[in-house]
């Protein structure tokens, strides 16, 4: 049911004032509580970071000290297409805020029209004492209308609140896309450099094994070595060459993945082999509660809760009438020559109120759906916090155990080198069979590759921890 009435200007002013001071229907937003521990579990003392979401996230990848990685990260930030998509989503969300906020101000429309028409002589009589006549005339009009929704119950304010929360969520999603892009790129790059190290180890072993094969072949020709010795060495060489081919294939796949992340066609991209190793950086670790300020995915989930909260208020405003303040004015005449004149002036001021009297439970269902969506958004937010704490704790534990594994792996390489040297000398002196040389050589190769893989895992764990904490902390107190 709709009612319309005309009021004096003072009534309209009072209505505007009421819309500005009225309370918005629905719950005001409050960030949901989440339980966070006071500290991380750790067997060693980590340097404490002081992150905050307002701090600019610096180029954290520079802590690896690798110029090629730095250049790739810059190229990815400039040319990655997924980041462009996220930036456009953010731009659209901000424009949507502007579009929604515009409803808070009156809309003004102007119009001009002209018509020529003929009235019917047989139309119903206005009075029975005056007969009707057919008239042909013009009707030019020039005027304007003003419409303003008096936001008495906060419908528009909840719309703007939800749009702003959506824009904030898009901003957090953009930061999360950037974080995922830079960490994925760093992980692929460090995996590729670990492959370089393993390829170098295998190439050195292949050269040594090839020389050993020639040595065994010459001894076999002189009847100092058996055919079994020759076949075993040949098999070892071919096995190493097979592993080398597989590693090179793995490197190529990583190289092309990096090309795509940097916005470069794979056939046009190539990364030169790098022989030097990359040092594992010493990362600071923030308190568990700082994840709420730092991780962009948590910020996005929290903004989704704010958006869902605004949707509850918006749904509840349907229980209350919507009020439109209306004004119009202009000129209406039968001739253009006297259109803009005092007798042709027309104006109107009024208010229109609309209220649903019966909607068969639709409004209540919408409110219940909005409240259910809010409960789901809260659970999603808390789940993001739990996952974040899991990832950071995993990264901390990974740092500790990988450091221990690194020391053990280096010791194992040293012992394997010594065992291989002894076995080789004993065989050359005729004191041992060649199988022991093969065994110790395989052990040495396995330990060298394992040590290289652990080095790579340490670098990847550093990237994982950066991602888990929501970014790097260059420029923070050391």
* Model pLDDT for residues 1-21, shown as the tens digit of each residue: 334 343 444 444 444 444 444
And the tokens for 241?
């060459």
Least confident of 55-64, 72-81, 145-154, 349-358: 55-64
Confidence of residue 473 (pLDDT cuts 50, 70, 90): low
Is-contact 255 271, C-beta < 8 A? Answer: yes
Kindly give the pairing relationship between strand 141-150 and strand 107-113. antiparallel
Strand partners, 109: 145
CATH topology of domain 2-117+136-469: Outer membrane efflux proteins (OEP) (1.20.1600)
Kindly provide the residue ranges of all beta strands, DSSP E only, lying in 276-398, ordered along the sequence: 322-332, 345-354
pLDDT at 87: 95
Question: Mind giving me the DSSP string for 90-131?
Answer: HHHHHHHHHHHHGGGS-EEEEEEE--EEE--TTSPPSSTTS-
Confidence of residue 83 (pLDDT cuts 50, 70, 90): very high
DSSP H or E segment with residue 150: strand 141-150
pLDDT at 382: 92
Q: Report the pLDDT averaged over residues 425-452.
A: 85
% of the chain with per-residue pLDDT over 70? 89
Distance CA 206, CA 423 (A): 18
Per the prediction, the chain carries an average pLDDT of 85
pLDDT at 124: 87
Helix (H, G, I), strand (E, B) or coil at 285: strand
Q: Report the pLDDT averaged over residues 120-149.
A: 88
Residue 400 has pLDDT above 50, yes or no: yes
Model-wide pTM > 0.85: no
Distance CA 145, CA 329 (A): 7
Q: What angle do CA 282, 285, 291 make, to 5 degrees?
A: 145
CA dist list (Å): 245 to 203, 241, 440, 464: 10, 6, 23, 29
pLDDT at 287: 66
Which pLDDT tens digit goes with each residue over 406-421? 999 999 999 988 998 9
And the tokens for 232?
């075993």
Distance CA 97, CA 101 (A): 6
CB environment 441-477: b (16+ within 10 A), e (fewer): bbbbbebbbbbbbbbbbbbbbbbbbbbbbbbbbeebe
Q: Report the pLDDT averaged over residues 151-175.
A: 92
Confidence of residue 22 (pLDDT cuts 50, 70, 90): low
Of 446 and 72, which is predicted with more confidence? Answer: 72
Confidence of residue 68 (pLDDT cuts 50, 70, 90): very high
Of 295 and 10, which is predicted with more confidence? Answer: 295
pLDDT at 113: 92
Residue 407's Cβ-count burial label (10 Å; 0-12, 13-18, 19+) is exposed
Q: Report the pLDDT averaged over residues 431-438.
A: 82
Helix (H, G, I), strand (E, B) or coil at 357: coil
pLDDT at 94: 94
Residue 360 has pLDDT above 70, yes or no: yes
Strand partners, 5: 351
CB environment 94-117: b (16+ within 10 A), e (fewer): bebbeebeebeeeeeeeeeeeeee
Biggest CA pair distance of the chain: 142
Residue 36 has pLDDT above 70, yes or no: yes
Q: Report the pLDDT averaged over residues 82-88.
A: 95
Q: Report the pLDDT averaged over residues 133-138.
A: 89
Count of beta carbons in the 10 Å neighbourhood of residue 75: 16
First to last CA, the chain: 68
Residue 244's Cβ-count burial label (10 Å; 0-12, 13-18, 19+) is middle
Distance CA 13, CA 327 (A): 12
Distance CA 239, CA 234 (A): 9
H and E: helices and strands count for the chain:
9, 7
The radius of gyration computed from the CA coordinates of the chain, to the nearest angstrom, equals: 38
pLDDT at 129: 82
Confidence of residue 187 (pLDDT cuts 50, 70, 90): very high
Q: Report the pLDDT averaged over residues 17-45.
A: 70
């Amino acid at each position: 049911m709709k009612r319309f009435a005309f009021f004096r200007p003072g009534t309209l002013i009072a209505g505007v004032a009421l819309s500005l001071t009225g309370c918005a229907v629905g719950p005001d937003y409050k960030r949901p509580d989440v339980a966070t521990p006071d500290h991380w579990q750790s067997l060693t003392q980590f340097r404490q970071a002081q992150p905050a979401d307002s701090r600019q996230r610096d180029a954290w990848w520079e802590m690896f000290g690798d110029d090629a990685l730095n250049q790739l990260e810059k190229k990815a930030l400039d040319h990655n297409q997924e980041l462009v998509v996220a930036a456009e989503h953010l731009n659209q969300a901000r424009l949507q805020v502007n579009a929604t906020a515009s409803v808070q101000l009156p809309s003004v429309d102007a119009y001009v029209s002209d018509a020529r028409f003929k009235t019917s002589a047989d139309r119903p009589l206005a009075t029975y004492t005056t007969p009707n006549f057919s008239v042909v005339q013009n009707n030019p009009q020039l005027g304007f209308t003003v419409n303003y929704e008096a936001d008495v119950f906060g419908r528009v304010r909840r719309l703007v609140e939800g749009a702003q929360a959506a824009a904030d969520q898009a901003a957090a999603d953009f930061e999360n896309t950037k974080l995922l892009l830079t960490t994925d790129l760093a992980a692929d790059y460090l995996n590729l450099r670990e492959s370089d190290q393993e390829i170098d180890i295998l190439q050195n072993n292949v050269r040594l094994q090839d020389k050993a094969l020639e040595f065994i072949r010459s001894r076999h020709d002189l009847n100092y070595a058996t055919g079994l010795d020759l076949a075993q060495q040949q098999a070892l060489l071919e096995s190493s060459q097979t592993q080398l081919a597989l590693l090179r294939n793995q490197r190529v796949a990583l190289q092309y993945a990096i090309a795509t992340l940097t916005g470069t066609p794979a056939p046009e991209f190539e990364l030169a082999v790098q022989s030097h190793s990359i040092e594992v950086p010493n990362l600071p670790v923030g308190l568990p509660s700082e994840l709420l300020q730092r991780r962009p995915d948590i910020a996005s989930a929290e903004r989704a809760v704010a958006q869902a909260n605004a949707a509850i208020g918006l749904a509840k405003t349907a229980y209350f009438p919507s009020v439109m303040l209306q004004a119009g004015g202009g000129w209406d005449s039968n001739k253009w020559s006297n259109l803009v004149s005092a007798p042709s002036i027309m104006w109107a001021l009024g208010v229109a109120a609309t209220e649903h009297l019966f909607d068969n439970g639709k409004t209540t269902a919408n409110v219940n759906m909005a409240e259910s969506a809010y409960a789901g958004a809260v659970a999603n937010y808390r789940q993001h916090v739990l996952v974040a704490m899991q990832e950071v704790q995993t990264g901390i534990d990974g740092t500790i155990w990988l450091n221990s594994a690194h020391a053990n792996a280096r010791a194992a390489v040293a012992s394997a080198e010594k065992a291989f040297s002894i076995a080789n000398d004993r065989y050359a002196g005729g004191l041992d069979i060649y199988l022991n040389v093969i065994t110790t050589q395989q052990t040495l190769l396995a330990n060298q590759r394992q040590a290289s893989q652990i080095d790579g895992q340490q670098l990847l764990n550093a990237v994982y921890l950066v991602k888990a904490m929501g970014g790097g902390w260059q420029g923070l107190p050391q």
